[in-house]
């Protein structure tokens, strides 16, 4: 008999190796994509994805806006499918992110975008797929087969690929990512995660929050907790949390705060102050450079660039979802009612 969660556990542990493989192999795939981008008169970027990949796309949005200064949008696929819109997308770079590359709505909307004049790029883990066939350019995640329904290594691989794409497009220094596999390795097996899992074993409602580059991590962590532990997890940016949602926070609803070392972390200081005032049960996920206090803390590796930090930030939260699910006698490898490929149209 196999142990519940063994696939997810193995895939979380494999991430340093997967990321090292991406860093050793990206050149042959990325070079032609960058060459094409440099001949393209880009006025805007559109990103399309579903589920976990949607959070990778949100990360790319922050990267492109801060590094390239281009306007970026997250696509509503029903615009192109349910409403059969014929877009005029000359001057637009369309980036589609999908682990499987098989979601019909992603494929159909990408085909419409290409027909409308967009330069289309796909990032998928599948070697071949309808989505990669639909785009002019393609990048492979190189994560290997992912057998657990809960995506882990494809998420971090997608983040690294998107950083490489944007940093290369900006003609930056790609060697800045050399430390990523070591950061992730340091975040894979933190003893503090077990302490948090024990504290939150019987929690039914939870909030995750961050700002800037940490916000996609908050979104992805909430999704992992929902799909593996069946608890009600709500993700908010720190700015949004200070509006209406703050009213629902009290000592019975834990708040997981992802605080990067950098501008995003500094903007969370008033959020943490408000949470302290309300007596919230706060778990801080942050490097030791972030000196805020909290009831629980999951320490992240020090010295990470804020733009690259999300690749390591999510790893202990993947472990938290795994350990919480197993403690509740669930199998996170096979969440009930979920499949690997989203069949929306």
Half-sphere exposure for 2 (CA within 13 Å, toward CB): 11
Residue 43 CA: distances (Å) to CA of 69, 139, 182, 248, 268: 10, 22, 36, 41, 32
Instruction: Provide CB contacts within 8 A for 106, sequence distance 6+.
Output: 48, 49, 50, 77, 96, 98, 131
Residue 195 CA: distances (Å) to CA of 48, 161, 221, 316: 37, 32, 17, 12
Please identify which residue in the block is written with the tokens 């903007």.
267
**What share of residues in the chain are helix, strand, coil (percent, to 5)?**
50, 15, 35
The two beta strands, 137-140 and 44-48, are unpaired
d(CA 255, CA 241): 11
DSSP 8-state code for residue 3: P
d(CA 256, CA 30): 35
DSSP helix/strand/coil, 93: strand
For the record, the structure tokens of 247 come out as 């009213």
Residue 221 CA: distances (Å) to CA of 151, 261, 281, 289, 308: 11, 19, 17, 22, 17
d(CA 320, CA 225): 8
DSSP helix/strand/coil, 284: strand
Of the candidates 17, 86, 224, 340, the residue annotated as catalytic is 340
For the record, the structure tokens of 313 come out as 């930030």
Residue 200 CA: distances (Å) to CA of 6, 168, 193, 244: 21, 41, 11, 24
Is residue 224 part of the annotated active site? The answer reads no
So which residues are the catalytic ones?
340
């Amino acid at each position: 008999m196999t142990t519940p969660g063994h696939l997810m556990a193995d895939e979380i542990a494999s991430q340093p190796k997967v990321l090292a493989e991406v860093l050793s192999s990206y050149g042959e795939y990325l070079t032609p994509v960058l060459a094409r981008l440099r001949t393209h008169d880009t006025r805007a970027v559109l990103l399309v994805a579903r589920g976990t990949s949607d959070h990778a796309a949100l990360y790319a949005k922050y990267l492109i806006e801060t590094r390239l200064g281009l306007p970026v949008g997250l696509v509503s696929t029903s615009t192109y499918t349910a409403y059969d819109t014929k877009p005029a997308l000359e001057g637009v770079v369309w980036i589609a992110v999908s682990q499987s590359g098989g979601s019909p709505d992603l494929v159909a909307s990408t085909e419409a975008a290409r027909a409308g004049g967009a330069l289309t790029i796909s990032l998928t883990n599948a070697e071949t797929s309808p989505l990669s066939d639909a785009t002019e350019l393609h990048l492979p995640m190189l994560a290997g087969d992912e057998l657990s329904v809960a995506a882990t290594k494809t998420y971090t691989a997608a983040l690294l690929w998107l950083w490489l794409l944007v940093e290369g497009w900006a003609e930056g220094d790609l060697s800045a990512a050399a430390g990523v596999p070591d950061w992730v390795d340091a975040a894979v097996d933190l003893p503090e995660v077990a302490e948090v899992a024990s504290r939150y074993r019987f929690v039914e409602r939870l909030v995750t929050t961050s700002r800037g580059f940490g916000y996609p991590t908050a979104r992805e962590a909430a999704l992992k907790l929902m799909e593996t532990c069946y608890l009600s997890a709500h993700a908010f940016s720190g700015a949004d949390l200070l509006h209406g949602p703050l009213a629902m926070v009290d000592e019975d609803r834990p708040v997981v705060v992802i605080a990067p070392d950098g501008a995003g972390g500094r903007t969370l200081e008033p959020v943490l102050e408000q949470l302290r005032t309300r007596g919230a049960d706060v778990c801080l996920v942050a490097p030791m450079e972030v000196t805020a206090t909290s009831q629980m803390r999951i320490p992240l590796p020090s010295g990470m660039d804020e733009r690259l930090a999300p690749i390591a930030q999510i790893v202990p939260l993947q472990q938290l979802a795994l350990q919480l699910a197993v403690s509740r006698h669930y199998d996170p490898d096979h969440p009930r009612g979920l499949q690997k490929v989203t069949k929306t149209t």
